[in-house]
Amino acid sequence: MIRLLLLSAVTAFALSACGGGDETSEGGLISPGNPENAEAQAPSEADRQSAAEQAVIETPEAEAALQRWANALEARDWETARQVWAQNGEASGLSAEEYAEAHEKYQTVSITIEDGRAEDNAGKLYFEGQVTMEGELQNGDAYMMQGPVVLSRVADLPGASTEELSWRIEMSDLRPRPVDEETGEPQ
């Protein structure tokens, strides 16, 4: 009996110390299963809408970074394109010279970016855009590559640097697609 009283006292103290327990308007505790309590704890429509709006707010910045990369590739500005990659370009897996060399085979570059989607995962934000890159190789052959390009940045956390808050390419999975040699259209 003393154990039960002691346990009840400790539980009540712990709840009051951490702000636990729900109160009615009269100040008495109510049951966690009470529908009145569930309404108080459920996020409001405004809260849900606010979270959705936050994701939309982040998307234009990610799309702008992806478009900056695409514009640089189309202009054959390999250095600027590589700088959109995370870790000051190192996440591309290529040095500046290797990156330029890998892209010199493209005589023309045209990039189309389809709508992407944003996701928040454990303090890091991700944006995945579907990209089509096509044009003509230096040898005159048509080429086409398609796939996702993933950008990321840290969430708005206190102490995060400007670089950490900038959208950067983390991964690209552009893969060659067959192109009809006569028409230049995808097969």
Domain boundaries, the chain: 60-176
First vs last C-alpha separation in the chain: 80
- SS3 of 33-51: CCHHHHHHHCCCHHHHHHH
Give me the pLDDT at residue 3, please. 35
Give me the pLDDT at residue 45, please. 54
pLDDT beneath 50, residues of the chain: 1-35, 37-40, 47-53, 55-58
CB-CB contact of 55 with 118 (8 Å): yes
Give me the pLDDT at residue 56, please. 46
Give me the pLDDT at residue 81, please. 98
Beta strands in the chain (DSSP E): 110-113, 117-121, 124-136, 142-154, 168-172, 175-176
How far is 12 from 27, CA to CA, in rounded Å? Answer: 14
CATH architecture entry for 60-176 = Roll (3.10)
Give me the pLDDT at residue 154, please. 94
Give me the pLDDT at residue 169, please. 98
Tokens for 25?
A: 């308007």
Give me the pLDDT at residue 71, please. 98
Tokens for 78?
A: 């390999």
Give me the pLDDT at residue 2, please. 35
Give me the pLDDT at residue 44, please. 53
pTM of the predicted model as reported, rounded to 2 decimal places = 0.68
Give the closest residue to 55 by CA, choosing from 125, 3, 114, 5.
Answer: 125
How far is 51 from 55, CA to CA, in rounded Å? Answer: 7
pLDDT digits (tens, 9 = 90+) for 147-181: 999 999 999 888 999 999 999 999 999 999 988 87
